[in-house]
Amino acid sequence: MTSQVTVEEINTFLREAFEANGGALEAIEVSDGTAKMKLAYNPAQLRPGGVISGPTQMSIADSATYIAIFTKIGITPFAVTSNLNMNFLNPCIAGDVIATANILKIGKRLAVAEVDIREANMTHPASHAIVTYALPSR
C-alpha cells in the first residue's frame, strides 16, 4: 500500500490543521514510507545548557511518523500516537531540527516507525525514536 502524496499537499495540510504551529514545521522530503521533516529553530525550544529540549525532539519524531504514515495510506487526520519510545544519544545543538521517519511496519490498525532526529548540521543523531500509531478504521 502506497499513497502518492506530495510535499506540497502535506505542507498545506500541516498549515491548515495545525495553524498554531505558525509554519515552523514542514515536510522537506517524502517517499514511500519515509518522511523528512524540519522544525525551524526557535530559542524557546532550548533547555538550560543551550541544547534543543527533549520534548521538542519528541514532538518532531511524532510529527515525522504521522507524515510517513500519509505516504502509505494518504492523509489520515485521525491517526493517533499510541506509543513513543525515545533514546537521547547526543546533545542536539541549537538550530533547525531534522527528523527522518521510516515506516517499519504498517497493518490494519497499527503503524510502527523509527525516527532519526538531529540538528541540521549534525553528523550523528541527537536522538532515536520508535513510534507506534493507531490507525482509524479504513
DSSP 67-84: HHHHHHH---TT-EEEEE
Does residue 104 lie within any of the structural domains? yes
Residue 30: domain span: 7-134
Dig out the grid coordinates for 136 from the structure: 482509524
The tally of domains found in the chain comes to 1
Average pLDDT, the chain: 94
Confidence of residue 21 (pLDDT cuts 50, 70, 90): low
Rounded to two decimals, the pTM is 0.93
- Record the cell numbers describing residue 120, joined without a space: 541540521
- Is residue 1, in this structure, part of any structural domain at all? no
Q: Using one digit for the tens of pLDDT, what is the confidence trace for 27-76?
A: 999 999 999 999 999 999 999 999 999 999 999 999 999 999 999 999 98
pLDDT-based confidence at residue 93 (cuts at 50, 70, 90) = very high
Residue 112 belongs to domain with CATH number: 3.10.129.10
Residue 21 or residue 42, greater confidence: 42
Q: List Cα–Cα distances, 88 to 5, 70, 125, in angstroms.
A: 31, 26, 9
- In terms of Cβ atoms closer than 10 Å to its own Cβ (0-12, 13-18, 19+), residue 31 is exposed
